[in-house]
Amino acid sequence: MAAEGKIADIEYVLFDMDGLMIDSEKMYTIVTNKILGRYGKEMTWDIKAGCMGKPELEASRHLLSFFPDIPLAIEDYIKERNELQDKMWPTVPLLPGVEKLVKHLKKHNIPMAIATGSRREKYLLKTGHLQHVFGLFEGKAICGDDKQYNMQGKPAPDIFLVAAREMLGRNVGEPLSHPNAEQKTERLKGLVLEDGMPGMQAGKRAGMNVLWVPDPNLRAIDDVSSVSETADQVLNSLEDFAPEQWGLPPYETDP
């Protein structure tokens, strides 16, 4: 359930994509377990939690580190996984509450951008059939393989700071530099929407507000007490999002 009262005054919003906007995490699980199943193995949620939000190679290394006894090279795993997933991406659905929120922010001219660990090629595959929502971002998206920004992956704060600076023109400073007072204030005007633990940590390390919408399975196994960062709000679904709690225009009520 949403918390009561105003939490912060937000001027811009940054969206994660996988598992937050689109139901891609389910497809990751189906494909990964199809491959591992040949060896009598399975990716459980405690393993999956460590993969979420990470760049492809890093996530794959994490996954296969749990199965050192199977004769599967990381390059072969990534190749097969990508081939299977690429056939599924044009059918991946939006998650509940996403379309309503994005259209609402767009209607009220709230600056917004996407910050995803997905490679740009995959981002385009996943969103091409969902342009009624993703088209509203007008190309404002930072992807994990945008090498020109020299970003570290989540839980490092880089991708959110780069998205705010490069896509929205916010004076938030550089990931590796200590922000001055003005930059700290600018960071606090941002709201990060995330579903993964590394992404939640990245948003807080960026000095921004974070709304965490974890999968129930993730909440069941993630030891939140093991990390120093704490989300500003935790919801079960973006359907529960209340814009006015963040100083944003409220949803219009139906007559």
Annotated catalytic residues are 16, 18
With both helix axes pointing from N to C terminus, report the angle between 74-88 and 120-127 in degrees, rounded to the nearest 10: 20
Cα–Cα distance for residue pair 199/64, rounded to 1 Å: 21
Cα-Cα-Cα-Cα torsion 152, 117, 189, 223, nearest 10 degrees, comes to -90
105 in Cβ contact with 13 (< 8 Å): yes
C-alpha dihedral over 14, 125, 28, 150, to 10 degrees?
-50
How many angstroms separate the CA atoms of 16 and 54, rounded? 12
Q: What's phi and psi for 12, nearest 5 deg?
A: -150, 155
Residue 209's nearest CA partner among 230, 227, 188 is 188
Q: Where are the beta strands (DSSP E) in 125-218?
A: 141-143, 190-194, 209-212
Long-range pairs for 27-34: beta carbons < 8 A, 24 or more residues apart: 27/85, 27/88, 27/89, 27/92, 28/85, 30/88, 31/81, 31/84, 31/85, 31/88, 32/63, 32/81, 34/84
User: Pairing state of beta strands 190-194 and 141-143?
Assistant: unpaired
